[in-house]
Chains A and B, each alone.
Chain A
């Protein structure tokens, strides 16, 4: 059975004609798909994350940027909290000298 199949296969000749630029076209298509994949945001992000972020200059820049943004946000929020606390203390002082405020509390 196996010998028979082998004979048949070796005697078979396809009459389909392969285009002359078949191989070049295939490689072109592969290259185009690869290029399209490279332009996708996710691919670029992954590439940046795995290749560039490992470099000391990028790593330092990321840490410095993160710390700077955190300090900025903390500064704004601390100012707002301090202003709130200051108003609360002002109200406490006013209440301490105003009997009417004490009555209405």
Chain B
């Protein structure tokens, strides 16, 4: 009986150890990417199988795009706040409200154009097949929200 209990205990310990070791090894890479500050760029590199030179180019494009993107973000936030304030204080579509809404729409349009230009520039740095996939995925997520995201879901997530 004692020997049998030892065998059972050994089986339980071995099973738990196998589970923990396998799970840790299999998820370590993705976990590390999540905790890295540059994990999203690493995601881009792996998802679209970028070579070192392609990745360097894409990284430069991303770094060049970021300051403009941040500026745009601030301008959109300011325009949205302004429009919110005017909508709250007015009781009709006054010329001020109309102008604020038009400003928001113009900024949204400007943002989309800049974003689309960036997406095309990044895709041009990739291989033709991966570049096309990147454009489809990004436009579905950002520029053309009407497109089904399921059709361009990332390969790893499928």
Contact = CB atoms under 8 A, between A and B. Distances in A.
Interface of A: 49-50, 53-54, 58-59, 62-63, 66-67, 69-71, 73-75, 77-79, 81-83, 85-90, 92-94, 96-103
A70 B40 contact: no
Given A69-B15, A85-B34, A97-B65, A78 B26 contact: yes
Interface of B: 1, 3-4, 7-8, 10-12, 14-16, 18-20, 22-23, 26-27, 30-31, 33-34, 39-44, 47, 62, 65-66, 69-70, 72-73, 76-77, 80, 108, 111, 115, 118-119, 138, 141-142, 154, 156-158
B76 A99 contact: yes
What's the dominant secondary structure at chain B's contact region?
A: helix
A85 B15 contact: no
A98 B12 CA distance: 49
A62 B11 contact: yes
Contacts of A67: 14-15, 18
B27 A78 contact: yes
B41 A93 contact: yes
A98 B15 contact: no
Given A54-B4, A97-B69, A90 B154 contact: yes
B124 to A, nearest CB: 15
A43 B23 CA distance: 37
A37 to B, nearest CB: 18
B111 A99 contact: yes
A58 B7 CA distance: 9
A50 B1 CA distance: 5
Contacts of B65: 97
Given A82-B156, A86-B43, A100-B111, A74 B23 contact: yes
Contacts of B8: 49, 53, 62
Given A89-B39, A93-B43, A78 B23 contact: yes
Contact of B30 (A73, A86, A102): A86
A98 B77 CA distance: 13
